[in-house]
Amino acid sequence: MPTDTKTIQAYNRYASVWAQRIRSGKMFSHSCLERPAMLAKLKNIKGKSVLCLGCGSGEECKCLKNLGAKKVVGVDICKGLINVARKSYPELEFYEEDIEKLAFLVNLLI
């Protein structure tokens, strides 16, 4: 199901606020459920390239890099969130793209 325009516009408007909430650790659905569930599913990623779809403001990408990924590429449909991610984590790669149209990204991880 594609992301609707209204949702994208809302994330663009509140990108900085969203990043602050995630980074504060007070967004309990993320810190207590989403992140632990994601980390529990990961196998050893040391030395591997990782594509993070729906990366938002980049926190998960930074986490993946800290876990030893050789290369992390983050993709999100929201320009505002990608701008925050690029500013916050300039050592990582971020792209504003619709994940339903990712043909060009396959070569980025090689």
Residues 6 or more apart whose Cβ sits within 8 Å of residue 3: 77, 98
The fold of the 5-109 domain, in CATH, is Rossmann fold (3.40.50)
The answer to whether the beta carbons of residues 30 and 55 sit under 8 Å apart is no
pLDDT value of residue 93: 95
Domain extents in the chain: 5-109
| Beta-strand relationship, 49-53 and 93-96 | unpaired
pLDDT-above-90 percentage for the chain: 46
Q: Which long-range contacts (CB under 8 A, 24 or more apart) does 3-12 make?
A: 3/77, 3/98, 8/77, 8/78, 11/78, 11/80, 11/81, 12/78, 12/79, 12/80, 12/81
10-62 pLDDT per residue, tens:
888 888 888 888 888 887 887 788 888 888 998 899 999 999 999 999 999 99
pLDDT value of residue 35: 82
